[in-house]
Structures are given as C-alpha cells and as structure tokens.
Amino acid sequence: MRIAVIGLGYVGLPLATALSEHFETLGYDIDAARIDELKAGHDRTGELSPERLGAARLGLSADAADLEGADIFIVAVPTPLDAEKRPDLGALLAASETVGARLGSGAAVVYESTVWPGVTEEICVPVLERASGLAAGTDFHVGYAPERMNPGDPAHGIAHITKVVAGQTPEVAERLAALYGALNGGNVFIARDIRTAEAAKAIENAQRDINIAFVNEVAQLFSTLGLSTHDVLDAARTKWNFLDFTPGLVGGHCIGVDPYYLAHRAVEVGHDPQIILAGRRTNDAMGAFVADQIERRLGTAEGPVLILGVTFKENVPDVRNSQVPGMVAQLAARGIETAVHDPIADADEVKTRHGIRLLPGLEGAGPYACVLGAVAHAPYRAFTSATFASLLAPGGLVVDIKNMWRDTALPGGLRRWTL
C-alpha cells in the first residue's frame, strides 16, 4: 500500500513520519523550501528532531507528479480564516484539485484538516470528481480522520491518543481504522459517518474556547475584586466535576479559529450560533485587558515593558495568530513602549509576519519598568529572584499571565500582578 500525505506542517509531518514506519509513504508539500529543509534534516516546527527525521523512511517531494499511483491520499493542509474571520478553504480546495488530478480507481482520499460538518462530502468531493473524472463512492472513496495533535506536547502524540476515523462506506472506515490503528495499537474510534467526525472535531475546540473564555471573564472580575484567580481555581477544582481551565491569551490556529468554522455552517443553515462564538470576543479582548492593568499599575518605574514570549503557546515556535502582537499594539496605543523576547520563535518570521523586531537576548537587557510573562517557555519558568532584580528598574512590575512565577519570590520593592 502506498500512502501520500499532502501538506507537511504541524499535523502532516509527524503523521507522514509515523506512517512511513509501517507503510511506503510519500510526504508532499507545495512549499519547496520546506521540502528542502526536511531533506536536510531540519523541521522548523520543532516537532521532529533531526535524528528522527534522518531515520525516517519517508519520501519527500514538492512535485505533485510524484503523487501518482498512491492508494491512500491524506490531506493535512491549513484551514485558516480570512481577514474578515470567514473560513478560508483555499488550501483545501487546491489540495483537492492536486489529488483529484492524480487519483486512480480504488484509491481513498482522507481529510485531516479541521472543517465544518459537510465540507468533505459537499465541497471537496465535487472537486475530486471533476479533477479525476471518477465517481466518489464507486471509483474512489473518501474518509475523514480529524487530527488531535497538540504542538509541543509529545505525551499526546499520534501513538498515544484515540484516533477518530469515518468513511463514506463501512469498508472504507474499516480500512482507515486498520491504517491508523497501526500507529497507536488499534486505539481507533469509528464515527457514524464523515459529517459526525467533522462535527466532533469542530466542537472539541469550540468547547475549549468557551471554557477558557469563562475563566478569562471571571479572571477579569476577580482582578477587580482583588482576588487571585489561581487561588480561587485551586479551591474550586477540588470539586469532582469542576472543569479545570486556566485564564490566558488564546492564539494559534485551532481554538481561536475552529469556532468560526462551526458558526459559519450554523448561519448558512439559518441557526443563530449564540454559544459557539460566545467565547471569541472575551478571549480576543484579553490583550486589551492586560494592557489596561499594566497601564494602571506602571507607576513611576523607568523604561519600557519587556514582553517575554511571542509564540502562540509555550515551547513551540508557531507565531501564527499569536495574541502578543495585539498586546504590543494595545500598549503602544496607551503610549507604552515595549521590547519583545522569545527564545524559540524565528526572528525573521516575527519581523515579516508581525513587524516586531525580537531582542537578540536578555543578557544585559533593561532595566525595564515591567516584565510581562506572556508565554511560559521553559527558560522563563526557570527565572529566579535574581533574574527579576537584573531586568527590572526599582519599583518595577512583574506581570505573570501564565502564573509561572507564582512560587518565585521577588526582590524587595518589585510588585506583582497575575491574572
């Protein structure tokens, strides 16, 4: 069996690599530079080490002609939002064209990209049929296998989590269950049908967004009331059915994006999505809330605000949809200067994508009026009282959005604010 994985990003590369340990697998990406980097043993997403990449028997190509003859095509391309926060299916449609043009009789096409219920069968299948001249359901089949990987979290990698699959027919679903089951000891759930699996993925992330928004809202309230949200959460989570979420900035291209996909479909069918998007406004407004709190507390300490971390989450290099650039803008709008540091993000990408020039290092930096811990990268977690003493001006403020310095004592005279 020959497998082709289309799109070698955070999702596609680890999947293709794992598959290549069991099946003949080709990884295809439209980005030739990405393919060259991977061939040279470098994964810019940081998910795979050079050793793992070097050891993989994964074919790599940026030439779509190499997809010819595959038995199973797995599509893992991005499904982002456009500038108006509408779903952008451009990459999914382009990948479907590419696959359709190389699709042979008896093959299966499996989508891993996150979508709303109905996209695979109502939008992708017609593209595949037109490009291939074949009929879905007879000449070829489609399936859906939503991805749950969590960047920077190897404990929840492909081998360790339940995989949901669905097929156009029970036979295809079984074929996919066997395929993915080879990667995780058979830990596969076959969903009733493709739309069910698409919907399951969409609500997994929309539910997280809403729950985080709830905690973000109460964090704002508790800040006004002079309560520590983390102390409150410590007490509340002792209840057996309390849902354990923590406040913070919600970025990345899953949790902040997928609710819009579900809401888009809701509106299309005339349903008013009151809860699905309820969390978006609150979560998107957290940067402005933090900026307000800093402005109120800055006092007379001298120097700009040092922002630690620009990626969308800890210990990953992904800077897409990060909330930090928005916070830089919020502080600038209040006349507060910032300097930004990140030990993992690619400085050129941050400059191009967000227009922010990263500090090359923290050695000798400062003094700052405020140190704002935005992302809990491991080196920041290791900060000690002496680190704060060297970075901050007398009377300076430590803002700990991620609660990473809760147990770190601050030198005398410094102040602290946490969400």
Choose, from 38, 127, 219, 254, the residue flagged as catalytic. Answer: 254
Residue 403 CA to residue 373 CA, distance in Å, equals 8
Note if 254 is an active site residue.
yes
Least distance in angstroms from the C-beta of 36 to ligand NAD: 12
Which candidate, 340, 338, 398, 334, places its Cα nearest to that of 371? 398
Candidates 2, 23, 61, 94; binder of ligand NAD (CB under 6 A) is: 94
Candidates 18, 20, 26, 29; binder of ligand NAD (CB under 6 A) is: 29
Cβ-Cβ contacts under 8 Å for 264 (sequence gap 6 or more): 86, 87, 116
Least distance in angstroms from the C-beta of 77 to ligand NAD: 4
Contact call for residues 293 and 224 (beta carbons, < 8 A): no
DSSP state, 198?
Answer: H
The DSSP bridge partners found for residue 25 are 3
Nearer to ligand NAD, 216 or 321 (CB): 321
Candidates 77, 173, 197, 262; binder of ligand NAD (CB under 6 A) is: 77
Candidates 3, 4, 6, 124; binder of ligand NAD (CB under 6 A) is: 6
Least distance in angstroms from the C-beta of 226 to ligand NAD: 37
Amino acid letter, residue 252: G
Candidates 3, 4, 5, 9; binder of ligand NAD (CB under 6 A) is: 9
Nearer to ligand NAD, 147 or 193 (CB): 147
Which candidate, 377, 372, 347, places its Cα nearest to that of 360? 347
Nearer to ligand NAD, 93 or 232 (CB): 93
Least distance in angstroms from the C-beta of 29 to ligand NAD: 5
Least distance in angstroms from the C-beta of 205 to ligand NAD: 8
Phi, psi of 111 (to 5 degrees): -100, 135
Burial class (CB in 10 A: 0-12, 13-18, 19+), 319: buried
DSSP string of 5-19? EE--STTHHHHHHHH
* 79 forms part of the interface with ligand NAD (CB under 6 A): yes
Nearer to ligand NAD, 102 or 141 (CB): 102
**Which of these segments, 143-151, 285-293, 334-342, 357-365, binds ligand NAD (CB under 6 A)?**
143-151
Phi, psi of 416 (to 5 degrees): -135, 140
Task: Give the Cβ contact number of residue 211 at 10 Å.
Answer: 14
44-62: buried (b, 16+ CB within 10 Å) or exposed (e) per residue? ebebbeeeebeebebbbbb
Nearer to ligand NAD, 114 or 418 (CB): 114
Retrieve residue 237's tokens: 């989570």
**Interface ranges with ligand NAD (CB under 6 A):** 6-12, 28-31, 34, 76-79, 91, 94-95, 98, 112-114, 147, 149, 151, 253-254
Catalytic residues: 254
